[in-house]
Amino acid sequence: MRFLHTSITVRQMEESLRFYTEILGLVPDGRRAIPENHAEIAFVRDPTSGARVELTHWEGKETFDPGEQLDHLAFEAADLDATLARMRSAGVRVAKEPYRLTGGSGRIAFVLDPNDVWIELIEHPSGSR
């Protein structure tokens, strides 16, 4: 597997984009609505290392409990079904079975780490990425 990005929940997308680009020097790396989740995501990338942060804004989310800002960590899985089978056999809890988002090209699933942190597993179609 390959680590892809960290996702954080943001209160205001425009303010967060300004902070990460103008203050921290990251560069915009894509933005889109996720209608079925009532959310919008935007990626920013470190031009030197390539590390990415996904900014996630949830429609209607106005308050945050401590620790809620970390949304998930994302890893690429070449074979999502085999990866989930291996993780299940190791006792890993699956939070969301594989599915596709509208507008997405690959499948995703979510598992939980021992601290209940969500880990997104992304399977890109052959030949992409």
Residues labelled as active-site residues: 120
CA gap 108, 120 in Å, rounded: 7
Neighbours of 87 (CB within 10 A): 17
Backbone angles phi, psi at 59, to 5 degrees: -60, 130
Give me 8's structure tokens.
Answer: 């954080």
Backbone angles phi, psi at 29, to 5 degrees: -140, 35
Residue 120, beta-bridge partner list: 74, 110
